[in-house]
């Protein structure tokens, strides 16, 4: 009854071997990335070792390799990424909710969608040029300083923003937005329709359904997108260099150089977004360009280690938050 | 499927919403608000005077930007000046000479670092915006032509030979095309990228016209890449600032330069620059100071320190060359005149 076709050979051993080969190739691919990462890390940490001291974290930069430090970059990046997140996360998630939950599919939304996907692939330096025109110079607006008198402190807001933290954060927020929007849309789309139907059937309004069921269920996916986007922003050099951010600077944004400064003058927090800054990747870039080999090898390697550790800490805490949200979902 | 109860994430969300609304309200309903137009001399928009109330008077800030060649000197001077005057805040950037002048003409900078004199178009931009400036020479850079230490055939090159190698559309590919006694081997060329002042200067004095050069060579804006390239390749030839050679004397060999075919071969050094024999590759480096900013004590002090003995010591520490004593005295007099 069951007839073997003439051209069929039941070479079972070979087919098993094929499967085994494929699995081995996949295993190799996995280990290759791990091994490369380990080699890079080992080399960099070995180079950086003599410079990895507490002083490196608490000093400002110097032209002498032995007294160079990263404080300005660490604090600059901290504020920069903080403001970037504050700007791009609400806008990004909001846009994604609108596009997924409210907007009808017509040529306008399809056009917007196309543009968002394209923006995600635009090189970062282009965002830098855009940010320079739109935020640093504000299309050549004459310069003013608006002084807000708030009883306990004065806030000086330069207009246009100049090379300030807020101009950098707005630029990086533009850079992050497409990634955040696309990832949030994916996350919202993957929430099962039955969840929405159930909520609506129980009499929940659309807003209640979105805010209490869909959004919490999509949160882990959204947070993944946010983490990826902010990690990318933390490492960006080109757009900040185009903005004209400082490389060597003797103060941190808001002149808050230490916890003591913050304790004594908490009002300076209000000045932070409008102050000049430098960032960690800019400092590393600058050190790599230095003439002296101490800078090129040891100091820049130490800078890279610090940047990596901060990235890992940032991602780690974000993963913890994600797990917190994930545990809430049970279906 | 079990729907989760109104959980903490929802409350978290709504509290974030409430908080941000509150923050917006605070921002939009200021107790007092005044606009200060930028009439104060030289205070730039991003000076961001900290919080004057808390600090007891505005913090003095100096903004420097411009050439990446001059950056190491300006940065070292800034650091040493800050050590002596802890109350003054300084930022130094490296937008390049052209980028620096662009910001300078907008009145954004107190001081612009430059590896070449200001161009006519940039002068016009400054005049149009009402920016008056003081031009000061601060140091000398000697562009250095380098080869691999294993190169024992070309200790000296003339300007005309260099022109033959680097000219636009140059057909020279092998060493023995310059001199038949030299190896029959391809020359590996390394040089500055086309956006740098170094490239402008080298092409101007060697080829005779700025920005005219062959293009089939390894370009990089990071001079360390060029150093590495020349150090690794036996048949290489490259050029960059003196400092990068001075930091790597064991890995590179400087080529002596003959200004004309019957002139002597001269190596770059403090002496040969000082007695005017290392020509044509030594060039002055400048800072341009906004005259309005110069009225501020902090800026005047910084520039004075730049030209003082302690400041000039940093020039050599950063592996640049000093200008002649006479020129320095001239510059100091020029500054004193402007400060009157």
Q: Domain A50-328 belongs to what topology?
A: MetI-like fold (1.10.3720)
Distance CA A124, CA A141 (A): 25
What's the pLDDT tens digit per position in B220-237?
Answer: 878 888 999 999 999 999
Task: Give the residue-averaged pLDDT of B36-49.
Answer: 40
CB contact under 8 A, B51 and A163: no
pLDDT above 50 for B96:
yes
What's the pLDDT tens digit per position in B99-115?
Answer: 889 889 988 899 999 98
What's the pLDDT tens digit per position in B284-331?
Answer: 999 999 999 999 999 999 999 999 999 999 999 999 999 999 999 999
- Nearest CB partner across the interface for B48, out of A158, A292, A293: A158
Return the domain boundaries, chain B: 60-140+285-339, 144-280
Identify whether the C-beta of residue B89 lies closer than 8 Å to the C-beta of residue B299. Answer: no
Residue reference for tokens 């004095």: B205
Q: Which residues contact B177 (CB under 8 A, 6 or more apart)?
A: B171
- Nearest CB partner across the interface for A247, out of B1, B93, B248: B93
Q: A329 in contact with B at a CB cutoff of 8 Å?
A: yes
Alpha-carbon distances of B276 from A31, A106, B57, B84, B269, rounded to whole Å = 61, 74, 49, 35, 11
- Nearest CB partner across the interface for A153, out of B53, B78, B88: B53
Nearest-neighbour CA in chain B from A268: distance (Å): 6
Percent of chain B with pLDDT over 70: 83
Tell me the chain A residues in contact with residue B50 when contact means C-beta distances shorter than 8 Å: 254-255, 268, 271, 275
Return the domain boundaries, chain A: 50-328
Nearest-neighbour CA in chain B from A134: distance (Å): 15
**Sign of CA pseudo-dihedral B242, B244, B249, B254:** negative
Q: B38 in contact with A at a CB cutoff of 8 Å?
A: yes
CB pairs A-B closer than 8 Å: 188
Average the pLDDT over each of A326-330, B116-120, B185-189, B245-249 and give the range with the smallest value: A326-330
pLDDT above 50 for B272:
yes
CB contact under 8 A, A291 and B319: yes
Closest CA to B108 of B87, B93, B124: B93
Which tokens go with A62? 């110097």
Q: Which of B45, B72, B144 to mutate to test the interface with A (most CBs of A within 10 A)?
A: B45
pLDDT, position B56? 36
CB contact under 8 A, B63 and A276: yes
- Out of 3.40.190.10, 2.40.50.100, 3.40.50.11720, 3.40.50.970, which CATH number does the structure's domain B144-280 have? 3.40.190.10
3-class SS of residue B265? coil
Average the pLDDT over each of A142-146, B132-136, B203-207, B249-253 and give the range with the smallest value: A142-146
Percent of chain B with pLDDT over 90: 59
Distance CA B166, CA A15 (A): 61
Alpha-carbon distances of B330 from A116, A118, A168, A303, B141, rounded to whole Å = 59, 57, 41, 42, 19
pTM here is 0.81
**String of DSSP letters for B61-126:** EEEEEE-TTTHHHHHHHHHHHHHH-TT-EEEE----HHHHHHHHHTT--SEEEESSPPPHHHHHHH
- Nearest CB partner across the interface for B53, out of A154, A244, A254: A154
User: What is the DSSP code (8-state) at residue B216?
Assistant: -
Average the pLDDT over each of A144-158, B3-17, B200-214 and give the range with the smallest value: B3-17
Nearest-neighbour CA in chain A from B56: distance (Å): 12
Identify whether the C-beta of residue B115 lies closer than 8 Å to the C-beta of residue B72. Answer: no
Tell me how crowded residue B22 is: count the other CB atoms within 10 A of its CB. 10
Which tokens go with B287? 């800072």
pLDDT, position B15? 52
What's the pLDDT tens digit per position in B130-170?
Answer: 999 999 999 999 999 999 999 999 999 999 999 999 999 88
What stretches in chain A show pLDDT beneath 50? none
- Nearest CB partner across the interface for B59, out of A212, A249, A255: A255
3-class SS of residue B179? coil
Burial class of residue A126 in the structure, from the number of CB atoms within 10 Å of its CB (0-12 exposed, 13-18 middle, 19+ buried) = middle
pLDDT above 50 for B49:
no
- Residue B82's pLDDT band, with cuts at 50, 70 and 90, is very high
- Largest Cα span, chain B: 94
* Per-residue buried b or exposed e for A170-204, using 16+ beta carbons within 10 Å of the residue's own CB: bbbbbbbbbbbbbbbbbbbeebeeebbebbeeeeb
Per CATH, the homologous superfamily of domain B60-140+285-339 is: Periplasmic binding protein-like II (3.40.190.10)
């Amino acid at each position: 009854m069951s007839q073997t076709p003439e051209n069929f050979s039941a070479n079972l051993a070979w087919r098993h071997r094929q499967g085994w080969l494929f699995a081995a190739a996949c295993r190799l691919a996995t280990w290759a990335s791990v091994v490369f990462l380990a080699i890079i890390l080992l080399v960099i940490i070995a180079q950086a070792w003599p410079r990895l001291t507490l002083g490196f974290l608490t000093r400002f930069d110097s032209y002498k390799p032995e007294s160079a430090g990263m404080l300005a970059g660490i604090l600059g990046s901290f504020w920069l990424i903080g403001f970037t997140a504050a700007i791009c996360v609400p806008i990004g998630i909001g846009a994604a909710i609108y596009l997924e939950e409210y907007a009808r599919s017509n040529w306008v939304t399809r056009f917007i969608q196309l543009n968002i996907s394209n923006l995600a692939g635009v090189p970062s330096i282009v965002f830098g040029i855009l940010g320079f025109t739109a935020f640093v110079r504000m299309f050549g607006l004459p310069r003013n300083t608006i002084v807000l008198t708030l009883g306990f402190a004065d806030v000086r807001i330069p207009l246009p923003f100049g090379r300030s933290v807020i101009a950098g954060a707005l630029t990086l927020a533009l850079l992050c937005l497409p990634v955040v929007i696309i990832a949030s849309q994916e996350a919202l789309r993957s929430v099962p329709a039955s969840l929405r139907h159930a909520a609506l059937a129980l009499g929940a309004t659309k807003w209640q359904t979105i805010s209490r069921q869909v959004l919490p269920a999509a949160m882990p996916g959204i947070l993944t997108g946010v983490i990826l986007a902010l990690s990318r922003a933390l490492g960006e050099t080109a757009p900040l260099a185009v903005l004209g951010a400082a490389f060597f600077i003797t103060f941190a944004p808001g002149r808050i150089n230490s916890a003591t400064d913050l304790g004594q003058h908490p009002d300076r927090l209000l000045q932070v977004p409008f102050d000049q800054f430098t960032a960690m990747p800019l400092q590393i870039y600058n050190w790599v360009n230095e003439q002296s080999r101490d800078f090129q090898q040891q100091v820049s390697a130490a800078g890279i280690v610090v940047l990596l550790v901060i990235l890992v800490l940032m991602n780690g805490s974000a993963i913890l938050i994600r797990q917190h949200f994930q545990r809430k979902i049970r279906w | 499927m079990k729907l989760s109860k109104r959980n903490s994430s929802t409350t978290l969300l709504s509290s974030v919403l409430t908080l941000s609304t509150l923050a917006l309200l605070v921002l939009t309903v200021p107790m007092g608000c005044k606009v200060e137009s930028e009439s104060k001399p030289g205070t730039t928009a991003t000076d961001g005077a900290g919080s004057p109330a808390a600090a007891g008077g505005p913090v003095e800030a100096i903004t420097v930007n411009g050439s990446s060649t001059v950056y190491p000197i300006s940065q070292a001077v800034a650091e040493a000046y800050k050590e002596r005057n802890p109350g003054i805040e300084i930022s130094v950037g490296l937008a390049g000479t052209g980028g620096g002048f662009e910001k300078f003409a907008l009145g954004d900078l107190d001081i612009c670092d430059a590896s070449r004199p200001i161009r006519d178009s940039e002068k016009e931009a400054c005049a149009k915006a009402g920016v008056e400036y003081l031009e000061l020479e601060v140091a000398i850079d000697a562009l250095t032509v380098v080869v691999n230490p294993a190169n024992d055939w070309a200790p000296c090159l003339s300007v005309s030979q260099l022109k033959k190698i680097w000219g636009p559309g140059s057909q020279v590919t092998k060493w023995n095309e310059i001199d038949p006694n030299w190896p029959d081997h391809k020359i590996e060329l390394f040089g500055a990228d086309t956006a740098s002042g170094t490239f402008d200067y080298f092409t101007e004095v060697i080829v005779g016209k700025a920005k005219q050069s062959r293009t089939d060579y390894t370009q990089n804006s990071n001079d360390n890449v060029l150093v590495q390239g020349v150090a690794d390749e036996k048949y290489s030839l490259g050029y960059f600032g003196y400092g990068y050679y001075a930091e790597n004397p064991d890995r590179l060999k400087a080529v002596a330069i003959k200004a004309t075919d019957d002139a002597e071969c001269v190596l770059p050094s403090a002496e040969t620059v000082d007695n005017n024999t290392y020509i044509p590759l030594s060039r002055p480096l400048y800072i341009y100071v906004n005259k309005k900013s110069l009225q501020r004590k902090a800026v005047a002090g910084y520039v004075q320190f730049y030209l003082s003995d302690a400041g000039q010591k940093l020039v050599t520490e950063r592996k640049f060359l000093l200008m002649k004593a006479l020129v320095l005295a001239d510059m100091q007099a020029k500054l004193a005149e402007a400060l009157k």
